Amino acid sequence: MKAVVYDRYGGPDLLRLAEIDMPEPAKGEIRVKVLACAANLSDWEYLTGSPAWVRTVGGLFKPKVSVLGSDIVGHVDKLGEGVSGFEIGQRVMGDYVMTRGGFAEYACVPADETVAVPDALTDDIASCLPQAGGIAVAGTEGLLEGDRFLINGAGGGSGTMALQLAKAAGAHVTAVDNAGKTDWLSRLGADEVIDYAKMNFTETGKRWDRILDMVATRGPREISRALSKGGSYMALGGGVPTLLSIVFGGKLLSRKRSIGMLLVPSGRDLTRRVAECALQGRIAPHVEAVLPFSSVPDALARTGKGKVLGKIVIKPSLE
């Protein structure tokens, strides 16, 4: 079968289209014929091996898994030992960030992370939901009408869906991203936009009740300046030194504010919740492009550099 593979950490130039053996589902796994797989920032991190914490799960010196792609939509092709509740040909999806394998014609995925795709969702839309949508749902949990909410890195897949959920909750949303996305974010409904190259949101003198940071680059001392009393800051990713300062320093410097990491309870339940949000029209992923295997290197490079408006979807059938 065809797949986009790599065998060492580095840039997108290391990715190549190759013929590899068809995978066989192990106990508790399902083999799916891949219909669509969205590109995520996590794919870029597993490709580059950076931040350093990625190597603790992805392989210390070289990748454990040669095929990237986490948010997979596919038809059930074969059931592994002990798997029940699924039918051959059934359309399914899931966030398979620990096993990956979506940039291929077939992938073996854990059955206990897999849910049926609602008929009303297209393959392209469904592939954008599990990981990015799960982050958006977890990151906006408990938002109230009138809350001042800031999203740093608002123009990606998770950020745009978090923006939609926050506006639906009645929050006042500030969206932070690069200059190429500010006008677009305003059209999506952001009440205020900030170009991070021109302005550091922690130095504006403004304060927010909630901050969702997609890629943390600031320590807790800076963050606390931007939080209202009783406010909370949640970081999703970033470099190891910054994340450690947030985890340990946040408790010391928060001053009646909550500063910490966003813990996303990934799995079937969250994927079902995200799909329900999409069915209800509360979130609508923006698909910038649907591309073939040959475009995976460029898709991941643009995703890693924060240049994608929403999401890019890869479809094997286009190759």
* pLDDT tens readout for residues 223-265: 989 999 989 999 887 776 776 677 666 555 556 778 888 888 8
**102 in Cβ contact with 72 (< 8 Å):** yes
Helix, strand or coil for residue 14?
Answer: helix
Please tell me the predicted confidence (pLDDT) of residue 259.
Answer: 84
Under 8 Å between Cβ of 154 and 175: yes
pLDDT number for residue 250: 56
Spatial separation of the C-alpha atoms in residues 55 and 162, rounded to whole Å: 28
pLDDT of residue 255: 63
Low-confidence ranges of the chain (pLDDT < 50): none
Maximum Cα–Cα distance across the chain = 58
What pLDDT is recorded for position 218?
Answer: 85
Q: Which residue has the tokens 């914490």?
A: 53
Per-residue pLDDT, 239: 72
The residue with tokens 């995978």 is: 23
Residues 6 or more apart whose Cβ sits within 8 Å of residue 162: 135, 136, 139, 140, 151, 154, 212
Structure tokens that stand for 53 in this block: 């914490």
User: Which residue type occupies 45?
Assistant: E
Q: Give the pLDDT of residue 300.
A: 97
N-term to C-term CA, the chain: 12
What is the model's pLDDT at position 35?
98
Region class of 101: left (phi > 0), else alpha (psi between -120 and 50), else beta? left
At residue 251, the pLDDT reads 58
Judge whether 125 and 101 are in contact, CB under 8 Å.
no
Q: Alpha-carbon distance 89 to 294, whole Å? A: 26
Beta-carbon count within 10 A of 161 CB: 30
